[in-house]
Amino acid sequence: MATRFVSSFCFVILLCSAAAEALEGGFSVELIHRDSHKSPFYDPSETPFQRAGKAARRSIARVRGLRTNDEGEPSADISRIDADYLINITIGTPPMSIVAIADTGSDLIWTQCPPCQNCFPQVAPWFNPRASSTYAQVDCNSDKCHVFDLTFCSRQGSTCQYSTSYGDRSYTVGNISTDIIGLSTLTGSAVTFPGMVFGCGFNNDGLYGIHTSGVVGLSPGNASLVSQIGGNEGTHFAYCLVPFFSTSKYTSKLTFGSDALLTGPGIVTTPMIIKSKRLYYHITLEGISINGKRFEVSGSSGQGAVTGNMIIDSGTTLTWLPSDFYRQIEPAVSAAIDLPRPKDPIEGYNLCYTSSGVLKGAPSITVHFTGADVVLNWYNAFFQVEENITCFSFVPTDDQPMYGNLAQMDFMISYDLTLGTLSFKPYDCAN
């Protein structure tokens, strides 16, 4: 397998021209939906509807783990960790494979390491720092110790340690370390990044699952994979999410570098806001049109949408709208669909219909972000949660609004951290 090396540690998002040149446009890796056939969590005995129901319940729990503070930022330390996508990485020399949760709502990369004082059960072996010739612990006086906010010096000496918790009370504690982190690209080559900062967790517990070994943070925070890659690769990335009900052999993909920049017709672009905690990518929802009738979002003063009022999150299934705004659009959606209304099968849904397959009468829906009108496919807004029940995947919340991954499927979504923009392009992600 061919291997390409890039420059060592790129602090925050400093441009690393050597990395940009070495990767010649960038690279793409797999994003594996945790309910897809490539996931270690995949259960062939489950029906597609059972998997859809599980995804919806994860989304409900994820959003309920967040509360907003007076500045409009989530007040949980980090989002819930039972996110929808997994990523394969390697750590160390020789490289050891790690299956990690890919989380756009956190920044630290970490995995379980011995000696584990308290670790959650995992199927795969732990990463053993002593077995890696390139592993190093970070001194608490080092600049690298401060790439992550929640660090401190160990009681025994000068080792840099970290402690962080997630919105569902999952947590991890360990040593801040450096080593080579590798990613297997869709072309079959391996891209490796020497000197990457990550957490070697020795005290970890929560809802991680036995088939994972840690988390790869993809937020704009300083310790995330995106920020540490740096250069063109770290300031431009995109993903294309395959509908999880698709029977295609292809999986979703995550692209870094200039290859992540969109070209051609059909692209719409909106400003992306990164707030002080640097944990989330915020965008501004201005309104939604149902069958051509536009409904406007208003702020607390009724003067229009608040800038950065919504998080775009690949880790949650449903799209969560402010309750007062949702109450505007629900009657329009309901009026468009003349089908029986069964009892909602999952707490949190308001609109469900007796239907399977393509939803008859599904209205046209356009989501209006600042400067970007995103025209949805019917399955971006409705999905089947039981054999004969299809539900509207936009739901109300009094907490943090979030643009979920169902609404993002079959779009190439490009993040440009240099310009501070987010772009959408309709795309057949399964092909």
Q: Report pLDDT digits (tens) over 104-135.
A: 878 899 999 998 889 888 988 999 999 999 99
Residue that finishes a domain, picked among 255, 273, 292: 255
Please give the residue range of the domain that contains residue 198. 3-255
Q: Tell me the whole-structure pTM to 2 decimals.
A: 0.84
The mean pLDDT value for 416-430 works out to: 94
**Per-residue confidence (pLDDT) for residue 385, from 0 to 100:** 83
* Residue 69 belongs to domain with CATH number: 2.40.70.10
Strand-pair category, 402-403 with 310-312: parallel
Q: Which are the catalytic amino acids? A: 103, 313
Token duo for residue 54: 């599980």
Percent of the chain with pLDDT over 90: 46
Is there a single domain that holds both residue 58 and residue 175? yes
Q: Which amino acid is at 60?
A: I
Nearest residue to 131 via CA among 119, 114, 108: 114
**Do 268 and 207 reside in the same domain of the chain?**
no
Residues 267 and 154 in one domain: no
Flag whether pLDDT at 19 surpasses 50: no
Which position has the higher pLDDT, 52 or 122? 122
| C-alpha span between 283 and 294 (Å, rounded) | 19
In a domain, 271, yes or no: yes
The angle formed by the CA atoms of residues 215, 279 and 168, to the nearest 5 degrees, is 55
Q: How far, in Å, CA of 391 to CA of 348, rounded?
A: 11
Mean pLDDT calculated for residue range 346-360? 82
Chain-wide mean pLDDT for the chain? 82
- Residue 233 domain-assigned? yes
Radius of gyration of the chain (CA): 21
Whole-number pLDDT of residue 235? 83
Identify the three-state secondary structure at position 143: helix
The pLDDT value recorded for residue 64 is 53
Q: Is residue 431 part of a domain?
A: no
177 close to 144: Cβ distance less than 8 angstroms: no
Q: Compute the Cα dihedral for 389, 393, 397, 400 and give only its sign.
A: positive
Is residue 181 domain-shared with residue 142, that is, in the same domain? yes
* Residue scoring higher pLDDT (1 or 60): 60
pLDDT at res. 233 = 61
Domain end, chosen from 199, 221, 255, is at 255
Residues 177 and 266 placed together within one structural domain of the fold = no
Contact between 107 and 227 under an 8 Å Cβ cutoff? The reply is yes
Q: Tens digit of pLDDT for each residue in 237-270? A: 999 999 876 666 778 999 998 889 999 999 999 9
SS3 state at 94: coil
Domain match, 96 and 239 both: yes
Instruction: Give the model's pLDDT for residue 146.
Output: 85
Q: Which amino acid is at 219?
A: S
If phi > 0 it is left, if psi is from -120 to 50 it is alpha, else beta; for residue 408 that is: alpha
**Cα 294–chain centre separation:** 29
**pLDDT (mean) for 373-394:** 91
Tell me if 94 is assigned to some domain.
yes
In this structure, the chain runs to a length of 431
pLDDT (0 to 100) of residue 232: 54
Is 389 part of a structural domain of the chain?
A: yes
pLDDT at 300: 57
Location of structure tokens 């295609």: 248
- Number of domains the chain is built from: 2
Dihedral, 212, 29, 270, 316 alpha carbons, nearest 10: -20
Please give the pLDDT value at position 423: 98
Amino acid at 415: Y
Query: 400 and 356 in one domain?
Result: yes
> How many Å separate Cα 66 from the centre of its chain?
15
Q: Are 183 and 281 members of one domain?
A: no
Where does the pLDDT of residue 69 fall: very low under 50, low under 70, confident under 90, or very high at 90 and above? very low
Same domain, 304 and 359: yes
- Is 67's pLDDT higher than 60? no
**117 alpha carbon, distance to own chain's centre:** 29
- CA 361 to chain CA centroid, Å, is 31
Q: Is residue 46 within 8 Å of residue 133, measured between CB atoms?
A: no
Q: Are residues 247 and 267 in the same domain?
A: no
pLDDT at 137 over 80: yes
365 shares a domain with 245 = no
CA distance 371 to 119: 46
Chosen domain end from 255, 272, 300? 255
Burial of 37 (C-beta count, 10 Å sphere; 0-12/13-18/19+): exposed
Strands 110-112, 411-416: pairing is unpaired
Q: Is the pLDDT of residue 7 over 60?
A: no
In a domain? residue 220: yes
Q: How many CA atoms lie within 13 A of 260 on its CB side?
A: 30
- Are 246 and 377 spatial neighbours (Cβ–Cβ below 8 Å)? no
Looking at the fold, whether 98 and 236 belong to one and the same domain comes out as yes
